[in-house]
Amino acid sequence: MRFFVGLVCLLMFISCDKKTKVEKEVEEIPVEVKVVRFEKDFFETKPTDLQNLKAEYPFFFPEGNDDKVWIEKMQNPLWRELYNEVEKKYSNFGKQTNEIEDLFKHIKYYFPKTKMPTVYTVIGEMDYNGKAIYANDKLIIALELYLGKNNKFYEFPEYLKQNFEERQMMPDIVSSFALKAIPAPQEKSFIDEMVYYGKELYLKDVLLPNYNDAEKIGYLPEQISWCQENESYIWRFFIDENLLYSSDSRLENRFLNWAPFSKFYLEIDNESPGRVGQWIGWQIVRSFMENNPKVTLPELLKMSGKTIFERSKYKPKKNE
């Protein structure tokens, strides 16, 4: 018995030591984050100085828009009120800058050739599909969508508003980074699509070690619990309905895209969170990496969904 306890302690120590070793190496990676507060420059610029602002930030002023559009935005009381809301919460962006720095240290550890972008904070058009946009040398963060789900400016359904929290900023950045890091699935089968999203979520496991599962996928804690409690039922449904290798495009809206709930067309629908297919894909990828520890993160991201699934040995946890 003493030997067994000692062995368990030794294995735990080795596991913790390994994690600490990786994190220590991550900490040593030199990363310098440059943050440009464009929304401050925009709303604190006088209309008479608009041309200077456009010269400094030409990429934020697409051709074809009359200057009157920008001047009206600068002076509009509602836009200015929204700017004041953002200022109240993010006048000091130091904490978020440190988090971005830590994230990019992790990114550079696994993807050394990644260029460090300049971070631009903005106030956009409330486009929840573009909360954080990573594009080569620029990372654009729309601060108006991280004010907290109960902010008075939000007229969105609850399943979207629950992700308008500050804590969603880093997961959103990883999602945008994933668009270039993860090749689009070659096959259009349901299993390939699920594993594609599973790769994105596993990327968050690796790049955001201090975030919990709910934060990574954008669920409430009780939605994670629902998926865990019903994992075997979800999987059995996919199997029984012959969905895994189906190329029916309607499956995306039923189980993969943002939605208030998933569409099994059963009584449980209203209890379920949307995107349960993404969550199942995540568990498949986790199972694959558990059973194939020599596969590197970049190698994983390039592998086909079918190969990952077949080698994952995935088995849903049985319901109690």
Tens-digit pLDDT string for the chain (320 aa): 554 545 445 445 545 555 678 888 999 899 999 999 999 999 999 999 999 999 999 999 988 889 999 999 999 999 999 999 999 999 999 999 999 999 999 999 999 999 999 999 999 999 999 999 998 899 999 999 999 999 999 999 999 999 999 999 999 999 999 999 999 998 889 999 999 999 999 999 999 999 999 999 999 999 999 999 999 999 999 999 999 999 999 999 999 999 999 999 999 999 999 999 999 999 999 999 999 999 999 999 999 999 999 999 999 987 65
Q: What is the pTM of this model?
A: 0.92
| 3-state SS class at 158 | helix
Could you give the CA distance from residue 197 to residue 281 in angstroms, rounded to a whole number?
Answer: 6
Could you give the CA distance from residue 5 to residue 312 in angstroms, rounded to a whole number?
Answer: 30
Residue 116: CB partners within 8 Å, gap ≥ 6?
A: 31, 32, 33, 104, 108
Backbone phi and psi for residue 128, each to the nearest 5 degrees, phi listed first? -70, -10
Q: Side-chain half-sphere of 229: how many Cα atoms within 13 Å?
A: 10
**Strand ranges (E), the chain:** 35-37, 118-122, 132-135, 138-142
Instruction: Report residue 164 as tokens.
Output: 């308008």
Decide if 308 contacts 182 (C-beta within 8 A): no
Q: What count of other Cβ atoms lies within 10 Å of the Cβ of residue 33?
A: 19
DSSP lists the bridge partners of residue 138 as 118, 135
Helix axes 2-27, 94-110, angle to 10 degrees: 110
Q: What count of other Cβ atoms lies within 10 Å of the Cβ of residue 160?
A: 16
Handedness of CA 273, 274, 278, 281 (dihedral sign): positive
Instruction: Report residue 118 as tokens.
Output: 């300049």
Handedness of CA 89, 95, 101, 104 (dihedral sign): negative
Could you give the CA distance from residue 179 to residue 57 in angstroms, rounded to a whole number?
Answer: 25
Could you give the CA distance from residue 150 to residue 161 in angstroms, rounded to a whole number?
Answer: 8
Task: Give the burial string for 134-143 (b: 16+ CB within 10 Å, else e).
Answer: beeeebbbbb
